[in-house]
A = this chain, B = another copy of it.
Amino acid sequence: MPAPVDPTFPLGDYPRREDDVIERIAHIVGHANIPKGERHIGDDAAVLAPIVGQTVLSTDVAVLGVHLDAGLFPLEDLGFKAVAAAVSDMAAMGARPRACVVAVTAPLGTDLEELHRGMADASTVTNCPIVGGDLAQGRDVSVAVTVVGECPGSGAVYRSGAKPGDELLVTGALGRSSAGLRRRREGAGLNDELVVAHRRPWPRLAEGMAARGARVHAMMDLSDGLGLDLHRMADASAVGFELRQVPVADGATFDEAVGGGEDYELLIATNDAARLRMVFHDRGLREPLTIGEVVAATDHRTLRGEEFGRRGWQHQL
């Protein structure tokens, strides 16, 4: 969106004009092989070939200093994490990402190329091309990523479908991202395994599509921590739960596993866990971990018989 200014705005007086910056960024994020019939960066909007089945749409914004500590991590991590978080919402629905667009604000002098390199990396590993974007000046570095995806075959999986008696599973042990942030604060290097888990979250796209294929009842990604997201699934489904265990990742604490967030493992409710395990096995995916089961009483929410309260990250607004 353009800013309203005096019409005689002197072009060329500034070190970097929008058109010039966009041209350089397009080289970083653009794909060499654009499918026939598609048009990516460079017009008023991107054009995609027809989407198969339901269209799935999600947006996610990340702000430097809020979502990433600029003193501990390079700027490219903000780009990577923003794209990965948005793509993870596709995994949560069992959708396949088709494309994303990125809207960036930044103060003068920000290394926009580094920021976009991080986005391009996440775009590549998740096979979700960046097909357009927008840039504006602001005091914060912020990245808003919107992903469009598709659900061929069966429909998207909602968080609201959990039913009493369903088994609850997660796609991996929890707390890695939060533990990585702690380790980085304690001085660990950027390539420390847990620090990498924090910097380079991996959306569980294959797992999400496999779970949709296995017709699970409910699914969501653990972006804000099991201690908050499980309650959200229970609220949306009007059910309660009995947890038997919380799988804590190596190197993480129990609190980090419950409340840390940003693990992006999937939380799944199904009445046929055997089928889910078989589909995961057939596709070479890691076996999902049973954590408990769904119960009818909405206010019954326990871990090994003790009350399991809400805890996790919420923005102050």
Contacts and interface: CB of A to CB of B under 8 A. Distances in A.
A45 B92 contact: yes
Interface-centre pick from A43, A51, A311 (highest chain B CB count, 10 A): A43
Nearest to A59: B101
Given A45-B93, A85-B1, A92-B44, A57 B9 contact: no
B55 A311 contact: no
Contact of A9 (B8, B49, B155, B314): B314
B51 A136 contact: no
Interface-centre pick from A9, A11, A132, A255 (highest chain B CB count, 10 A): A9
Interface stretch (A144-152, A162-170, A268-276, A284-292): A144-152
Interface residues of A, number: 112
Given A2-B262, A54-B49, A137-B66, A255 B7 contact: yes
A180 to B, nearest CB: 9
Interface stretch (A103-111, A118-126, A186-194, A295-303): A103-111
A8 B223 contact: no
A159 B105 contact: no
B9 A313 contact: yes
Given A9-B311, A311-B11, A315-B135, A105 B61 contact: yes
A225 to B, nearest CB: 7
A156 interface: yes
A282 to B, nearest CB: 25
A221 B158 CA distance: 37
A131 interface: yes
Nearest to A67: B3
A215 interface: no
A42 B61 CA distance: 16
A31 B226 CA distance: 30
Interface string A239-261: 00000000000000001101111
Contacts of A66: 3, 136-138
Interface of A: 1-5, 7-9, 11, 14-19, 21, 37, 39, 42-51, 53-63, 66-69, 81-82, 85-86, 89-90, 92-93, 95, 98-99, 101-106, 108, 110, 112, 131-140, 142, 144, 146-149, 151, 155-156, 158-160, 177-178, 181, 198, 220-221, 223-225, 227, 232, 236, 255-256, 258-262, 310-317
